[in-house]
Amino acid sequence: MNFSNYVIPAIIAIVFTAGLIKKVDVFAVFLDGVKDGAKTITEIFPALFCLMLAVGVVKSSGAAAMFADLLAPITNLIGFPKEVLPLAVLRPFSGSGSIAVYEGILKDNGADSFASRVASAIIGSSETTFYTLAVYFAATKVKKTRYALPAALCGDFAVFVLGVLFVRMTLG
């Protein structure tokens, strides 16, 4: 057996043991946590549902691929691989969708190709911006989000450009 199979049970045992030593009703505290978690889920569910619906529509309609084709002349200037454009378009919206696109890039181009390395840099360095903002802002009830989205999208853009540059530097 692998050591990692014992980590979670060990953590649970440590928590229960600490609770018993401190004379804390561990089960009641656990139930309070579940209640808080369920409350959080009900608060953020509408934002998540809307986002997932929008991502599904964008993916199914082919809008992401059309947008990538529109961006191709601009991205060619910095040497951004055309194969990675759908990933760059989808990444700010959907983690699972972008992982599926990423796997396709690896399968079609090989793991050591320039496109696959740029895709790896993007997946490893970027975030699902819209998902993250929707979840965090809904959970914390933030209403004034004036600069958050533009700043996050600038960060995504920087990842896309720097991903190409750093991969190019490592390849010599």
Predicted pLDDT of residue 1: 64
Note whether residue 27 is domain-resident: no
Contact call for residues 91 and 122 (beta carbons, < 8 A): yes
Question: H-type helices in the chain, by residue range?
Answer: 7-21, 26-61, 63-77, 85-90, 95-109, 114-125, 129-140, 148-171
Q: What is the pLDDT of residues 77-86, one digit of tens each?
A: 888 998 898 8
Note whether residue 8 is domain-resident: no
Note whether residue 102 is domain-resident: yes
Its domain, for residue 163, covers 45-171
Note whether residue 4 is domain-resident: no
Angle, in degrees to the nearest 10, between helices 114-125 and 95-109: 160
pLDDT band, residue 101 (cuts 50/70/90): confident
Predicted pLDDT of residue 154: 93
Q: Which amino acid is at 157?
A: F
Contact call for residues 122 and 89 (beta carbons, < 8 A): no
Structural domain total, the chain: 1
Note whether residue 84 is domain-resident: yes
Note whether residue 51 is domain-resident: yes
Task: Assess whether pLDDT exceeds 80 at residue 3.
Answer: no
Angle, in degrees to the nearest 10, between helices 129-140 and 26-61: 140
Note whether residue 33 is domain-resident: no
Whole-angstrom distance, CA of residue 169 vs CA of residue 133: 32
What mean pLDDT comes out for the span 115-138? Answer: 89
Note whether residue 38 is domain-resident: no
Q: What is the pLDDT of residues 134-147, one digit of tens each?
A: 888 888 888 888 89
